[in-house]
Chain A
Amino acid sequence: MADQEQQQAPPAPEQEQAAPAEKKGFGRGGRGQRERREGGAPRQNRGPRRFGGEQEWTPLTKLGRLVKAGKIKSLETIFQFSIPIKEYQIVDHFLKNLKEEPLALGPVQKQTCAGQRTRFKAYVVVGDNHQHIGLGWKSAKEVQGAIKGAVINAKLNLIPVRKGYWGNKIAQPHTVPCKVTGKEGSVRVRLVPAPRGTGIVAAITSKKVLQMAGIQDCYTQSKGSTRTRSNFLKATFHALKETYNFLTPDLWGHTKLESTPFQEHSEYLAGLK
């Protein structure tokens, strides 16, 4: 009797298994088990994935494709035509010696029905100590996560910085080209050109930003509630952005109209080269 029962039991689950196997859909045929032969790791090796590991960058935007193919020679072409940068790998491609430095790291809280929820907010400045600077921020549950997000944000917000002279035009530019001011919230930051050897005369927060932008000498004046560090940092950043917005007499001459990188490399984009 027991044997007969056991013999009856196995056929039932088999039938149940047979029904779901007939479930149809894209990709559920026998072919799903075929191994990939072409490039890249075989599919069985996809274990728990690392977030943003060192994987090759496949560009998703037109600009990214041109950069990866080496058609664009420098970041300044992108800045000249004000093309928005959507992929941070473009910045990594051009600037290999980018330094990241967090300037403000602290907890922020939000009131919820179940008490308070604290997260960490990080402000990170990214720069090459020569002429590029980016400011990014991110709040996340862990400090390291906030730093990671802020670095990517800073790379996407990268700007060029224009430098000039205080007096005689000898050697390389060392200071801001003219008096510029930036504002955010109630904070006003004013950058004033200074003679060579002065150094950066500023509060600790904005001094770091100006150092990483490559400015060697500068006087500053600030106004408003500079204790709110987020606004202070952003105001300095906006002031540096203004350096390339200012029309000085040496830019009065006519410039030749150039074609954008998309027009110039349209043949490459159309697949002919």
Chain B
Amino acid sequence: MNNKEEIVIGYLEQTDDILNIDDELPSYANGLPYFLENEDKFESIKCQQCGNQMKMLLQIYAPLNKKHASFREIYVFLCLNEQCSKNNSSVRVFRMQSQQKPQLLQSKNKEYILSPQNKSFIIDTEIINAKENNNELQVAEELLPTNFDDEDKDVDLKNVKFDNENKIYENYLKSTEEKEDINELDGLEKDQQNNIDGCFLIYQHFLTQYPNHIVRYCFDSQSKPLWFSDKKQPQIESKCPHCKKNKIFEFQINNSILTYFPELYNLEWGALYIYSCPSSCQVGGQILIEETIYAHSDEQEFISPNLKVDPNTKLVSINTNKSNKQKQQIQQQQQQQQQIQQKIDEKDEEDDDW
């Protein structure tokens, strides 16, 4: 398992020879899959909705510090059929592992290739410090118009340069127009902004900090995924069939992969989140073990059947340290304020004769 303090980020890099690598097993995208066992031993992977053969998006080598999983590969498959594009079951993820160094067997099924015109890409990685990253994201929360609850956090704004904003502020102070007394600004702190998607702004910020990255890997029981949007955030409660533990977040594939493969342009999801068993169990002698994948899309039409998805998720900031009681109190206060507002509106509407 990864150390909580580090997040690994993956980029795509074009290459001709996939097997010319320093690692023991390959991690790459777009090509024939390299299975660890003979592919005659299992069925070819098909879409559950339409029955077509699925294409392999990428495979990554993610070994763990455990004996039975020291050589572990994860494969992500996609169905490119238009009818399936609005359904969560158009993506599937599988895991293959072994104890000793396995023999790499390339699949002979050419239909697994996602984009025959493009070459294959190797996944290059960069390791970033999770604490620094968290601080950067808190700075982003402070400066972007997100709708998160007010938190008492100490945000370090040293590295941010406000050239443009300083000019605007100086112009505002210099302007000779009449200005009302600044202390008269209403004491109301909270203003609801219903249209703005706060999580999406932070996700976009993270992607501009590390441009063109594809994979964000952080396999830990306490690691949180970087959600694509604040609508339809799921609570993944699927369990491993062998050890009955809850599956935890392993990695996510971001939307930026679409710039490399034009075949994927029509897909509706924003990011894929892969959840897997924390102890990487060998389930009942199966060679290919299926794991949970969630395709996150903010459109209502997108179907996510098997996972608990609450369409009215309330916005939660990155570090919530408040206890449940405090949250309940805040909710009650908000409800009371809304009721008061409604009463004021009703009274005013009676006087309205415009």
Contact = CB atoms under 8 A, between A and B. Distances in A.
Contacts of A139: 189, 191
A186 B344 CA distance: 7
Contact of B184 (A34, A87, A181, A227): A227
Contact of A23 (B10, B65, B161, B162): B65
Contacts of A170: none
A49 B204 CA distance: 15
Taking chain A's interface residues, is the majority helix, strand, or loop, or is none over half, making it mixed?
mixed
Interface string A221-237: 00010011111000000
B211 A55 contact: yes
B168 A147 contact: yes
B187 A37 contact: no
A67 interface: no
Interface string A65-105: 10000000000000000001011000000000000111011
A87 B200 CA distance: 9
Interface stretch (B16-24, B40-48, B286-294, B316-324): B16-24
Contact of B161 (A50, A142, A156): A50
A37 B13 contact: yes
Interface in B1-15: 1-3, 8, 10-11, 13-14
Contact of A138 (B11, B60, B140, B145): B145
A199 interface: no
A86 B201 CA distance: 8
B34 to A, nearest CB: 16
B70 interface: yes
Contacts of B264: 271
Interface residues of A, number: 84
Contacts, number: 227
Interface residues of B, number: 93
B159 to A, nearest CB: 5
Interface string A120-142: 01000000000000001111111
Interface of A: 22-32, 34, 36-40, 43, 48-52, 55-58, 60-62, 65, 84, 86-87, 100-102, 104-110, 112, 117, 119, 121, 136-145, 147-150, 152-153, 156-157, 181, 183, 185-186, 188, 190, 204, 224, 227-231, 266, 268-271
29 contacts: A27-B10, A28-B125, A29-B22, A30-B23, A31-B124, A32-B127, A34-B22, A38-B14, A40-B211, A50-B161, A56-B211, A58-B207, A58-B211, A105-B172, A106-B183, A108-B185, A119-B189, A136-B145, A137-B145, A139-B191, A140-B143, A142-B162, A144-B169, A147-B168, A149-B143, A150-B145, A152-B201, A188-B348, A270-B265
Interface of B: 1-3, 8, 10-11, 13-14, 21-24, 27, 60-65, 70, 122, 124-127, 136, 139-140, 142-145, 150, 152, 155, 157, 159-162, 164-166, 168-169, 172, 177-178, 180, 182-189, 191, 193, 195-197, 200-201, 203-205, 207-209, 211-212, 215, 217, 219, 251, 255-256, 258-259, 261-266, 270, 341, 344-345, 348, 352, 354
